[in-house]
């Protein structure tokens, strides 16, 4: 096979600003969602709700606590996340961010509402350092998924479920070869979440 492995230390220039790029991507996606959300002329005001989301995807089992902003037929969710599948001490990570854009074709003010969902998540993890004396580079994994789901409203609590498909893209730093390794592929995302609607009238009231 015509593959080569260059183990010469530092022989390939490391890709600069990996973590910064990831953060920029995440912030950009939030801004894009926000601009869409807030530029929509609507009678209703923006409602902010604390939310908790668990998800199962390529990166494993994730848990996220964040805020959902809702306006008319649209809402966005943003929040930090913790990947429990790869974590021994949860205080050590791996950490990340989760964001979602929701469009409710039939509106949101009903007991049972369905939505279309674009989801972007990113994961950060310190690259493994077997010697304990490495410069600490970061591994990261992006997940982009599109899908659908529904929210079932019980009083002020919305129970959310979504199924998405898309791609993952991972970028690892190998301390031994001092090179970055990239890999991408198909992704499936299943989400279950709770949205506490603290400012609006109960559905069906």
Partner 1 sequence: MQVNNSFKLMAVLIVAILFFACRKIDLGNIQNLNDGQVMVIGHGGSGFPEFSNQLPANSWTSIERALEGLNANAVDIDVQLSADHQLILYHDGRLESQTDCYGCIPETESETIISCCYRNNFSNNITDHHAVILLEDLLEHYAESPFTFLLDLKPFGQCTEDIIVDLDTFATVLTDLVVRLKMEDRIIFNSFFVDLLAKLKALNPGFRVFKDGVNFDENFSEATTIGFNGITMSNLDIDEDQVSQAHDAGLWVILYSVKERFGTADALRKNPDGIITDNIELLQNFLD
Footprint on this chain of partner 1 (rule: CB under 8 A): 1, 3-5, 7, 49-50, 52, 56-61, 63, 65, 82, 85-92, 94, 125-130, 156, 170, 172, 174-177, 179, 181, 183, 185-186, 188, 196, 198-199
Positive or negative: CA dihedral 194, 197, 203, 205? positive
CA distance 17 to 2: 30
Pick the closer one to partner 1 by CB: 9 or 35. Answer: 9
Asked if 49 contacts 197 with a C-beta cutoff of 8 angstroms, the reply is: yes
Q: Residue length, the chain? A: 205
Pick the closer one to partner 1 by CB: 35 or 84. Answer: 84
User: Which residues have CB under 8 Å from 128's CB, separation 6+?
Assistant: 175
Q: Is 114 helix (H, G, I), strand (E, B) or coil?
A: strand
Q: How far is the CB of 3 from partner 1 (least distance, A)?
A: 6
Q: How far is the CB of 139 from partner 1 (least distance, A)?
A: 8
CA nearest neighbour of 166 among 141, 131, 136? 141
Q: How far is the CB of 73 from partner 1 (least distance, A)?
A: 23
Pick the closer one to partner 1 by CB: 3 or 20. Answer: 3
Q: How far is the CB of 153 from partner 1 (least distance, A)?
A: 15
CA distance 59 to 183: 13
Pick the closer one to partner 1 by CB: 37 or 82. Answer: 82
């Amino acid at each position: 096979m015509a593959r080569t492995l260059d183990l010469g230390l530092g022989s390939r220039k490391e890709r600069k600003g990996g973590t910064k790029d990831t953060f920029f991507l995440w912030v950009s996606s939030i801004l894009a969602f926000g601009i869409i959300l807030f530029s929509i002329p609507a009678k209703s005001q923006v409602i902010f709700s604390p939310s908790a989301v668990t998800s199962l995807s390529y990166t494993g089992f994730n848990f996220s606590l964040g805020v959902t902003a809702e306006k008319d037929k649209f809402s966005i969710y943003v929040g930090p996340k913790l990947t429990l599948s790869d974590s021994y001490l949860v205080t050590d990570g791996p950490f990340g961010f989760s964001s979602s854009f929701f469009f409710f074709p039939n509106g949101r003010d009903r007991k049972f509402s369905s939505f279309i969902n674009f989801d972007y998540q990113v994961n950060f993890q310190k690259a493994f350092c077997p010697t304990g004396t490495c410069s600490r580079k970061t591994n990261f994994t992006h997940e982009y998924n599109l899908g659908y789901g529904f929210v079932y409203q019980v009083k002020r609590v919305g129970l959310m479920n979504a199924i998405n498909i898309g791609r993952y893209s991972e970028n690892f730093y190998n301390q031994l070869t001092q090179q970055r390794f990239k890999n991408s592929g198909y992704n499936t995302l299943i989400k279950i979440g709770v949205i506490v609607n603290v400012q609006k009238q109960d559905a069906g009231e």
